[in-house]
Amino acid sequence: MSDNCLCNSLYRYIGQTVTIFTTSGGISGSGYTGVLAAVNDNCVKLITDIGAAPNCPLGSTCGCAPAVNSYGNRYYGNNNGCGSCCNRWLGSVTEIPICKIASFTHNAI
């Protein structure tokens, strides 16, 4: 299958969950599953882990401030006496070169 044909096939599934298998070995050869976000002639982007929604969408009314550990160091986090507004989890995106794709799987439509 030519790269152009593969790109056209992938493009039809933007916004849907797919699994892409690569020609590499190890754990990456087991495939990447995520929502197909973008396709171009060089690579595809999968959202493999969706980030959290904003906890304080109306501003900083939750009063998030750094906590101080037993060594006197300030830090942010979810388990430090600070509200959940300190959640800094952004999710993850995987970019796969077109030339390294062995196959992809999608739901039948």
Nearest to 1 by CA among 105, 103, 109, 108: 103
Contact 47, 37 (CB under 8 A): yes
Asked if residue 62 and residue 47 are part of one domain, the reply reads no
Amino acid making up residue 93: V
Asked if residue 44 and residue 9 are part of one domain, the reply reads yes
How many structural domains compose the chain?
A: 2
pTM given for the model: 0.64
Q: Domain limits at 82? A: 53-89
Asked if residue 41 and residue 57 are part of one domain, the reply reads no
What distance in Å separates the CA atoms of residue 12 and residue 33, rounded to the nearest whole number? Answer: 16
Give pLDDT tens digits for 58-77.
655 555 555 556 666 555 55
Q: Tens of pLDDT along the chain (109 residues)? A: 566 788 889 999 999 999 999 998 777 778 899 999 999 999 999 999 887 776 666 655 555 555 556 666 555 554 444 444 455 567 899 999 999 999 999 988 6
